[in-house]
Amino acid sequence: QVQLVESGGGLVQPGGSVRLSCAASTLPYYCVSWFRQTPGKEREGIALMVTSDDSTHYADSVKGRFTMSRDNAKNTVYLQIDSLKPEDTAVYYCATDPRLRYCSLSENDYNYWGQGTQVTVSS
């Protein structure tokens, strides 16, 4: 059973940047994804990585500002967020699942989640 631990969130000014980390207890499975959630809203899938070739896919709402990467030696996946906006304020989660053979941004496809890290964008 994989354990995921996110870190790197905090209070950031609009226009700033933050890099979130997702450390996995085991080698990453085929898909690793990032989601975010604000109070009263459904969890939104924002980015995924296919670990077989490190290809990435982003939701239209974050494309161009969010970048996924990973460090295999550290079993860690990153989410770089640039040009932060107040509407990016959310709890950010990473997720994976060993059963997946295709990757999606649907939260229902994932059974392993981290505890989340809060990103607050405010001046």
Q: What Cα–Cα distance (Å) separates residue 33 from each residue in 11, 19, 73, 122?
A: 23, 15, 19, 25
**What is the pLDDT, as a whole number, of residue 29?**
86
Mean pLDDT of the chain: 95
How much is the average pLDDT of 93-121? Answer: 95
**Helices of type H across the chain:** none
pLDDT for residue 89: 97
pLDDT at position 80 is 98
Give buried/exposed letters for 45-64 (b at 16+ CB in 10 A, else e).
bbbbbebeeeebbbbeebee
pLDDT tens, position by position, 81-101: 999 999 999 999 999 998 888
- Is residue 103 a contact partner of residue 96, using CB atoms and an 8 Å limit? no
The larger pLDDT score, comparing residue 100 to residue 13, is at: 13
Q: What is the pLDDT of residues 27-80, one digit of tens each?
A: 778 999 999 999 899 999 999 999 999 999 999 999 999 999 999 899 999 999
